[in-house]
Amino acid sequence: MGSSKMVPEIRRVKAADARCYRALLIEALIVHPDCFAGDYSSEIARPLSEVETELERGTTIGVWFGDVLGGIASAVRCDNFKRRHCGTVRNLYVREKFRRMGVASLLLQELLRFATSEVRKLEVQVPLKYENTVRLFERFGFRLCGLLPGSLQVESEELDIWMMTRPLR
């Protein structure tokens, strides 16, 4: 049986999963550098211990197919005292072979479940050109609240970013 036919296991990603998580995050940054504020060079330079600490402190959800991590989603609480009631979706990524199977929806649903106990509002930034991603977030109650022109630069290209928000409680 191929790994894509297995029943997915959805769970929080822990420090012990740091190598698998980091490998998938690096893949995401290589395959879609225009979807993430982070970049490949910074990620590969980061010590694994920092990744482990991040996984223990934040909310990162993973979907496993057997022993293969097929997708990730993470959110963090805003650091600023006056914005501590808000969280930000940092990443949502599904490996190509696991797409069109509802994995992103599973990840987002679980991420929202965890975030509801931590913050009152969740925000996400999505590049304008990724209409399917905007529609996914809209299906989960996120609403467009503004366009940030040229706010993400990938090499020489400046990308417009949609700011989206969703009240959680």
Judge whether 88 lies within some domain: yes
Judge whether 133 lies within some domain: no
Judge whether 128 lies within some domain: no
**Average pLDDT value over all residues in the chain:** 92
Whole-prediction pTM: 0.89
Q: What 3-state class would DSSP assign to 19? A: helix
Residues in the chain: 169
Cβ neighbours of residue 47 under 8 Å, at least 6 residues apart? Answer: none
Judge whether 130 lies within some domain: no
Counts of helices then strands in the chain (DSSP H, E): 5, 7
Judge whether 146 lies within some domain: no
Burial code (b: 16+ CB inside 10 Å, e: under 16) for 131-146 equals eebbebbeebebeeee
Q: Does the pLDDT of residue 34 top 60, yes or no?
A: yes
Judge whether 65 lies within some domain: yes
Between strands 86-94 and 121-127, the pairing is parallel
Q: Does the pLDDT of residue 154 top 90, yes or no?
A: no
- Kindly provide the residue ranges of all beta strands, DSSP E only, lying in 110-155, ordered along the sequence: 121-127, 143-154
Q: pLDDT-derived band of residue 24, with 50, 70 and 90 as boundaries? A: very high
Q: Does the pLDDT of residue 114 top 70, yes or no?
A: yes
Q: How many CA atoms lie within 13 A of 80 on its CB side?
A: 5
| Element (DSSP H or E) covering residue 103 | helix 103-116
What are the CA-CA distances from residue 57 to residues 42, 54, 118 (Å)? 20, 5, 12
Q: Does the pLDDT of residue 148 top 80, yes or no?
A: yes
Residue keyed to tokens 């009240």: 167
Judge whether 136 lies within some domain: no
pLDDT mean over 72-101: 93
Amino acid at 108: L
Judge whether 39 lies within some domain: yes
Number of domains making up the chain: 1
Q: Given this model, what pLDDT does residue 4 score?
A: 46
Q: Does the pLDDT of residue 52 top 90, yes or no?
A: yes
CATH of residue 14's domain is 3.40.630.30
**Per-residue tokens: 130:** 């990724």
Domain membership of residue 89 as a residue range = 3-120
